[in-house]
Structure 1
Amino acid sequence: MQARVVVFPIRGRAWCFARPRPVLPATSASASAAGSGALPPPPTLKDLWLGISAGGRTAPENAEAVADFVADKMNRAWIGFGSAPEGSVKRRIHRSGV
């Protein structure tokens, strides 16, 4: 069993370790239109803000939502590096980090 953990610096020597949520399989209608390997649309900063400012959640739940948002953004960026053209800087960075 494999698990992906995203680690990023917060401030000084503080680090955030996050395990991105698994990507849910697309529905059959969207899968046929977007292809079998398509990711769902990324959450926007507006979605994050609306979720946090709506209330009803505790501070740790809001912090987890922010960490999940950042981890998802970083995960998508890493996937983008892996799908860059061969020989590009992004592809070399991805290859050295795998």
Structure 2
Amino acid sequence: MEVDYLNYSLQELHEAWMTIDDYAYPERAIKVYQLLKNAEAKATEDNSSSASFTWVASVLRNFSRPRLYDPSFSDILLEESSATMKEQRVIKLIAKRESIDH
């Protein structure tokens, strides 16, 4: 079953990004990543008066996310590090896909 991410909010895309398994679903991870980056760019454009909007949005996401436990600072850093590593893997997948297409 294909998930339609086109109507997801920025928050929902971020949650999808954090939970998607890029090893099991690489094409889905690519799609979510691209939609998330486009949504972040649009949100930044819409709120151009604040240069630190992306950082503020990131901090707010951490506060607004439902939590089953109270994470420590190291838990948050680990989550962000995992997301960064996933982003690097997905960027490589995108580059590989583009080189095959050309």
TM-score (norm. length: structure 1): 0.37
TM-score (norm. length: structure 2): 0.36
Q: Which structure has the larger Rg over C-alpha atoms?
A: 1
